[in-house]
């Protein structure tokens, strides 16, 4: 083997020893960043452990998923008032803030009263939470929050401003939930609802009945029934009533 003498001292290294030392310093050079000595600090969600020679990088936290609202169920109570019962779930990791609900009207028909009825109307003292008109999109403010992996339930009373007294408006629609500052949207299935009028009356009398109006109502109900939608019980009962009495107003040829 070749021997070397360094700095006039009697230290003797073999060629193999020099190769080991050179490799050691090469490792130090690659492990240590410029100007870096001792422990290192790295910003963000990573933690660096080491003494400048051996580094270990670990993730301290995983990024949280955004809020994510799912519609669990939308049901109706049509006994006295038309109440929509909405059940939601947030499957995300962050709180969701619901700020608006939107009724997207795909089609509608006002049931016309075939009985010529005269009313003694009174002003309603009841304020409905949501009154639908005939606009294609109708947005209403709400204020609900759902925690991460939690559920919520709230109700909306519906009425129609365009329905005649004692009659209903048939709405073919979807319901959208708008939430968070970036306006995320979750949309419901399609529904066919018979929404009552906002008007109230003290008394009435009927002068006569129009078979032509009854026929028009029946044909429009049949048309609306062709939509692929979840139909309310009230709509189904109205259509059934017209079906059972159609012989009275349909002209036979």
Q: How far is CA 3 from CA 11, 17, 18, 146, in A?
A: 10, 11, 11, 78
Same domain flag for 74 and 178: yes
Residues, the chain: 253
What six digits make up the tokens of 193? 């609802």
Q: How far apart are CA 207 and CA 41, in angstroms?
A: 89
161 φ/ψ angles, rounded to the nearest 5 degrees: -80, -10
Query: What would the pLDDT profile of 3-45 be if each residue is shown by its tens digit?
Result: 444 444 444 444 555 555 565 555 555 554 554 444 444 444 5
Q: What is the pTM of this model?
A: 0.70
Q: How far apart are CA 196 and CA 48, in angstroms?
A: 66
Domain boundary (59, 77, 102) is at 59
Query: What would the pLDDT profile of 154-169 be if each residue is shown by its tens digit?
Result: 899 999 999 998 899 9
Query: What total number of domains does the chain contain?
Result: 2
> What domain range is 236 assigned to?
69-248
Same domain flag for 126 and 194: yes
């Amino acid at each position: 083997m070749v021997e070397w003498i360094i700095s006039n001292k009697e230290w003797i290294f073999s060629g193999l020893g020099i190769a080991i030392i050179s490799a050691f310093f090469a490792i130090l050079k690659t492990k240590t960043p410029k100007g870096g000595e001792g422990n290192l600090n790295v910003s963000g969600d990573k933690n660096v452990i080491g003494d400048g020679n051996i580094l270990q990088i670990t993730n301290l936290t995983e990024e949280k998923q955004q809020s994510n609202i799912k519609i669990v169920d939308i049901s109706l109570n049509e006994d006295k008032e038309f109440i929509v019962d909405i059940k939601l779930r947030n499957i995300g990791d962050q709180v969701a803030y619901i700020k608006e609900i939107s009724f997207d009207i795909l089609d509608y028909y006002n049931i016309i009263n075939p009985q010529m009825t005269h009313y003694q109307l009174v002003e309603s003292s009841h304020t409905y939470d949501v009154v639908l008109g005939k606009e294609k999109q109708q947005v209403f403010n709400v204020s609900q929050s759902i925690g991460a992996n939690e559920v919520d339930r709230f109700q909306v009373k519906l009425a129609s401003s365009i329905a005649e007294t004692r009659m209903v408006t048939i709405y073919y629609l979807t319901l959208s939930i708008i939430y968070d500052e970036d306006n995320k949207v979750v949309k419901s299935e399609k529904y066919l609802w018979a929404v009552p009028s906002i008007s109230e009356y003290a008394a009435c009398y009927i002068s006569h009945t129009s078979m032509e109006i009854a026929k028009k109502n029946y044909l429009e109900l049949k048309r609306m029934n062709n939509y692929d939608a979840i139909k309310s019980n009230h709509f189904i009962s109205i259509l059934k009533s017209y079906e059972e009495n159609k012989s009275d107003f349909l002209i036979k040829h």
